[in-house]
Amino acid sequence: MPENIESWLAEHRIESIRIEGTNLEGAFIGKNVSPRKFASGLKSGFAFADVAFGLDLGNAPQFGFAMPSWRGDLADIFLHADLSTLVEWSPGRASVIGGFWAPDGDPVSACPRNALQRMTKLLADRGYDAKVAVEIEATVFEESIQEARSKGYRDLTPLGGNAGSAYHLAKSKDWEDYMLAVARRLEELHIPWEAWGDEAASGQIEFNVAPADPVTAADYWARIRQVMREVAFEQGRCVTFMAKWCDEYGQASHINVSLERDGENAFYDEFGPSQVMTHFLGGVMATLAPATSFALPAITSYRRLQELEGPPTTVAWGVANKSTAVRAVVGHPKYSRLEYRTPGADANIYLVLAAVLAGGVAGLDGKIEPPEPFDDMAWCLPPGMPKIPNTISKAAEALRADTLLTGVLGQELVDYWLGTRQWEWLQFHTTGGDPDAGLTEWESNRYFELP
Amino acid sequence: MTDPAVSVVLEDDPTPLVLTVGRTLRAGTRDPESRRLLASLRETVVVRSKDDPQSVTIRFGEGRVWVGHGSASDADLVLTVDLADRFAVESVTGAEPDAPLVADVLRVLRPPLPHWRNAAVRFWELTSQDPGMPRELVVVCEEEELVLGGGLPRYVLCGEAEKLARVLSGTDVFLDEVYTGSLAVRGTMTQLSVMAGASLKVRFHA
């Protein structure tokens, strides 16, 4: 963080600063301010209408639920910049990420970044530093976003050709050019990417980023998606983070979590999960069904949940078992971790991480024992194993019935979230969606470009 | 003679239209003529929206009516309807438009509306304790006024008698009527949200 902001802005010849945050829908929102306005707003915060947290992705106001005290008749809420995130985004332009606060100085309960900060602090209060790495999947297309819009986001051409998928290097140069440009931009922004490659479908890529504290990891996620969109615009391409952009291919956003204590991996034990990992996992598994509402936030999110297609369908965990919802990586002093495999590429990572950490906190506090590890393939099972909720309404119901996750995450956030999920369900069914059809135009129009 | 009992059963994870039709049929069980028809019908009927993909299948059976989303291929009757106008029929497949079966099905889908005052009292009974609800609801119909609850915050709802009856009984959607101007309201935006939720509760679960 620069010691003197005004000097930093002058040194970098900054003409505008983009102040940024992530709303409840997972969209990267913000506005551009002059250096003078930026300096004056650092203490007071930057005003946004409260509907920044009250519009759906179709731009309709969300109604149908009780609203907390920070919502009013288009009242102001304030984005407070976290100056540790200040970077030169491009020549003449800076970027800074923040969280949202009410006029009375209380954090906006529905601000995902605030929620994640709270959960991180709860762990810190218990002596643990969480380390998180987020996998980012997306599909890139030959078409520009303008062409995609004119085609209704249908019949697009995945960049790099259709021959093969998953680790193939025989991709056309246009694909490499795009990915190399993204990686270069990440270097410029000091985002420590580790790997990228061809994922499991045509045009699909995966970016891996180095582990970081939860809020930083989520900030990376928000910025990488923005970079991927901007590079696509520059190259006349487009990119989507839909959970499924067509009926065939889904995309995920797996989350890897571990806890450190005094600089050592607290999940590590020579012979398997440590006691800390065991209890954290116990809480994560006990809250996996209600947390699905956060991991799979949209109508399309649930289209991924097909047996044998990659995403988990069963509430189960296993050691080195990628067919389960949570994969435990054990026995390594550095890499022992939990991989949370439910989230779709459309998940709001701040929120999902907050939910996962909240589950972990509940597990640590309650010394919750997880179910037995599942050693077989966790797809196509006979009846008996609990299933991950497979619709937005079932997931909402699981969250509504929960007390464990809500007790840590906060009733106000959960209630507000559930209100918005009821709205999303209602809008899908009553404004053109069809639960019995494949991917609908309603979904393409709503989710291709946002969040 | 005792009227036959009829239970209305919905599919798991019902859609909004399934919930709406379910509530409508349950309202019918409180009306003797509708209840008699519900008990006597044996057909499978599809009701689909004229405007969007929403549809439901209603399977009438002995003492039980089942409602699920989608259009069953074995339906005896398909009604294409205006969902914004109490299932007003646009077209009929499987029978002549003036066939008795069509009239019977419409009768159970359009049970008698309560008086707006009764609808308001029932609405208040079902929703007044929900989080965020105003402490007082004032329903104004021309020169008449009904005050429910007492104290602040207050919410005022104004409209014509039939519109109030339709909205407060869950037949019409509160928010749609506010947007189109057929209902006028006075209160805060957060109360508008809560009232919209209360309206959905009555529409889906009354």
Residue A425: what residue type? W
Instruction: Tell me how far apart the alpha carbons of residues B72 and B48 are, in angstroms, rounded to a whole number.
Output: 11
Residue A113 covered by a domain: no
Question: Do A224 and A89 share a structural domain?
Answer: no
- How big is chain A, counted in residues? 451
Asked if pLDDT for residue B94 goes beyond 60, the answer is yes
CATH number at residue A65: 3.10.20.70
- For residue B12, the tally of other CB atoms under 10 A from its CB is 7
Instruction: Tell me how far apart the alpha carbons of residues A263 and A87 are, in angstroms, rounded to a whole number.
Output: 28
The per-residue pLDDT for range A385-397, each reduced to its tens digit, is 999 999 999 999 9
Mean pLDDT score of chain B, rounded to an integer? 96
Mean pLDDT score of chain A, rounded to an integer? 96
Asked if pLDDT for residue B1 goes beyond 60, the answer is no
State the average pLDDT over residues A115-124: 98
Question: Do A60 and A139 share a structural domain?
Answer: no
Residue found by looking up tokens 């956003």 in the block: A253
- For residue B100, the tally of other CB atoms under 10 A from its CB is 9
Q: What's the pLDDT band for A164 if we cut at 50, 70, 90? A: low
Question: Do A60 and A156 share a structural domain?
Answer: no
Residue B1 covered by a domain: no
Question: Do A161 and A88 share a structural domain?
Answer: no
State the average pLDDT over residues A95-120: 97
Determine what percent of chain A is predicted with pLDDT higher than 70. 100
Q: Structural domain of residue B164, as residue ranges?
A: 116-205
- For residue A343, the tally of other CB atoms under 10 A from its CB is 30
Q: Do the chains contact at A426 and B193, CB–CB below 8 Å?
A: no
Q: What's the pLDDT band for A380 if we cut at 50, 70, 90? A: very high
Quote the pLDDT of residue A201: 86
State the average pLDDT over residues B73-92: 97
Total count of domains within chain A: 2
Which residue among A64, A434, A437 places its CB closest to the CB of B197?
A64
* pTM value surpassing 0.80: yes
Question: Do A155 and A63 share a structural domain?
Answer: no
Quote the pLDDT of residue A392: 98
Quote the pLDDT of residue A2: 83
Quote the pLDDT of residue B2: 58
Instruction: Tell me how far apart the alpha carbons of residues A410 and A357 are, in angstroms, rounded to a whole number.
Output: 13
Question: Do A60 and A24 share a structural domain?
Answer: yes
Residues of A in contact with B56 (CB under 8 A): none
Q: Which of B13, B135, B175, B195 to mutate to test the interface with A (most CBs of A within 10 A)?
A: B13
Residues of B with CB under 8 A from a CB of A: 13, 15-17, 52-54, 69-70, 130-132, 175, 188-190, 192-194, 196-197, 200
How far, rounded to the nearest angstrom, does the alpha carbon of residue B140 sit from its chain's CA centroid?
A: 21
The strand pair at A204-209 and A337-340 is best described as unpaired
Closest chain A C-alpha to B53 CA, distance in angstroms: 6
Question: Do A292 and A212 share a structural domain?
Answer: yes
Asked if pLDDT for residue A348 goes beyond 90, the answer is yes
Q: What angle (nearest 5°) sits at the alpha carbon of residue B15, between those of residues A425 and B159?
A: 80
Residue of B nearest to A73 (CA): B189
Q: What's the pLDDT band for B3 if we cut at 50, 70, 90? A: low
Asked if pLDDT for residue A141 goes beyond 60, the answer is yes
Asked if pLDDT for residue B47 goes beyond 60, the answer is yes
State the average pLDDT over residues A186-214: 94
CATH number at residue A181: 3.30.590.10
The per-residue pLDDT for range A12-30, each reduced to its tens digit, is 999 999 999 999 999 999 9
Q: Structural domain of residue A54, as residue ranges?
A: 5-108
Residue A116 covered by a domain: no
State the average pLDDT over residues A416-432: 98
Residues of B in contact with A415 (CB under 8 A): 131
- Facing residues of B198 across strands? none
Closest chain A C-alpha to B19 CA, distance in angstroms: 11
Instruction: Tell me how far apart the alpha carbons of residues A12 and A15 are, in angstroms, rounded to a whole number.
Output: 9
Closest chain A C-alpha to B5 CA, distance in angstroms: 30
Residue A79: what residue type? L
Total count of domains within chain B: 2
Residue found by looking up tokens 């020169």 in the block: B143
Quote the pLDDT of residue A166: 81
Quote the pLDDT of residue A249: 84
Asked if pLDDT for residue A449 goes beyond 80, the answer is yes
Quote the pLDDT of residue A171: 85
Question: Of A74, A108, A142, which residue sits at a domain end?
Answer: A108
Asked if pLDDT for residue A177 goes beyond 80, the answer is yes
